[in-house]
Amino acid sequence: MTHQPLQSEVTHHYLRPKKKFPNVWCAGCGNGIVMGALIRAIDKLGLDKNDVAVISGIGCSSRMPVYLDFNTLHTTHGRALAFATGVKIAKPQMKVIVITGDGDALAIGGNHFIHACRRNIDITAVLINNKIYGMTGGQFAPTTPGGMIATTAPHGNYEKQFDVVKLAIGAGASYVARGTVYHVTQLEKLITGGLRKKGFALIDAFSNCHTYYGRMNREGDAVAMIRWFKKHAMPVEAAARIPPEKLKDKFITGLIHETDATEFCEEYHWLVDRLSGKEAEK
């Protein structure tokens, strides 16, 4: 009789339990939820652990690869996508996943982010978006909304906010989605879709940093912050049927954008083929 594994056993199979636990994340942090969704997505697709590379930069979310039993590369702040580009081009048969944060991907790594989108290189980027710098103790990020408090915005943030989804679409990503750590099933599906997509896939995953963002802005504990996601998320299909004025305090979730553009490594492969054909003719 075959034993149907429990979900926790499945998860365990993809972790490095003996080596790196307990993790560095605060109790109640959404990073673990995203990690669980990623593991289930990988498991669902039946990917071989040896064929998966998980690459990150610096920050709370970027600690994730250390815990995962894949080929893992924990790089420098903001540069994960550039490192990942090298890995993917060198071994196009590998499934390359980037775990990044909003500060990592959009401030220091903004240039690499837009160019990875533009090249439409087959990388799945999961951006854990908690609107703050957590690792360094609560400074405002490019995603921090105006007026909010951070240690480097003690009088309220007077900068404008990035919309990651619009940025990725504008820059040429072929799969752009948004989920939250409340909508766990949806998040898993969005990541699965991103992994299936041949091209650059961005999953903007809203997560909670109750330790800094929540505390400084009186948004409550982890549970309260996750409930906020439940209340304000609007699936993209539903949003289409609702008048814009009713969407004011909502944010759109789901698969927001998908196109079929040629993928970078494929284009390069064609070039190599074309040149070798030419050489043969000579």
Nearer to other proteins, 9 or 51 (CB): 51
Q: Is 140 in the site for other proteins (CB under 8 A)?
A: no
Label the pairing between strands 201-206 and 123-129: parallel
Query: What minimum distance in Å lies between the beta carbon of 101 and other proteins?
Result: 16
Tokens of 91: 């071994």
Residue 42 per-residue DSSP state: H
How far apart (Å, rounded) are the C-alpha atoms in residues 157 and 139?
A: 10
Using CB atoms within 10 A of its CB, is residue 15 exposed (0-12), middle (13-18) or buried (19+)? middle
Distance CA 98, CA 129 (A): 14
Q: Does residue 173 belong to the site contacting other proteins (CB under 8 A)?
A: no
Look up residue 211 and give its two tokens. 């330790």
In whole angstroms, the minimum distance from the beta carbon of 270 to other proteins comes to: 10
Tell whether residue 272 is a contact of other proteins (CB under 8 A): yes
Is there binding between residue 112 and other proteins (CB under 8 A)?
yes
- Using CB under 8 A as the binding rule, whether residue 246 contacts other proteins is answered as no
Question: Which burial class, exposed, middle or buried, applies to 2 when counting CB atoms under 10 A from its CB (0-12, 13-18, 19+)?
Answer: exposed
Q: How many CB atoms lie within 10 A of CB 111?
A: 12
Using CB under 8 A, pick the residue from 38, 60, 82, 150 that binds other proteins. 82
In angstroms, what is the minimal distance from the CB of 71 to other proteins? 4
Question: Closest approach of Cβ 257 to other proteins, in Å?
Answer: 22
Establish if 75 lies at the interface with other proteins (CB under 8 A): yes
Q: Is 257 in the site for other proteins (CB under 8 A)?
A: no
- Interface with other proteins, residue 85, by CB under 8 A: yes
Q: Look at residue 10 and give its three-state secondary structure.
A: helix
Short-list 217, 187, 243, CA closest to 39 = 187
Closer to other proteins by Cβ: residue 57 or 214: 57
CB of residue 83 to other proteins, shortest distance in Å: 4
Q: Which of the stretches 65-73, 192-200, 225-233, 243-251 binds other proteins when contact is defined by CB under 8 A?
A: 65-73
Structure tokens at 34: 């995203």
- CA torsion, ordered 40, 46, 51, 53, to nearest 10 deg: -10
Instruction: Indicate whether 134 belongs to the interface with other proteins (CB under 8 A).
Output: no
In DSSP terms, 93 is beta-bridged to none
The first and second tokens of residue 155, run together, are 């009088």
Give the range of 13-21, 147-155, 214-222, 242-250 binding other proteins by CB under 8 A.
13-21
The interface mask with other proteins, positions 190-209, x = CB under 8 A, is --------------------
The CA dihedral of 6, 66, 214, 108, to the nearest 10 degrees, is: -140
Does residue 262 belong to the site contacting other proteins (CB under 8 A)?
no
Q: Which residue lies nearer to other proteins by CB, 185 or 262? A: 262
Give the nearest distance from C-beta 164 to other proteins in angstroms: 18
Tell me which residues touch other proteins (CB under 8 A): 16, 19-20, 49-51, 53, 55, 65-66, 69-76, 79, 82-91, 93-94, 111-112, 114-115, 268, 271-272, 275-276, 279
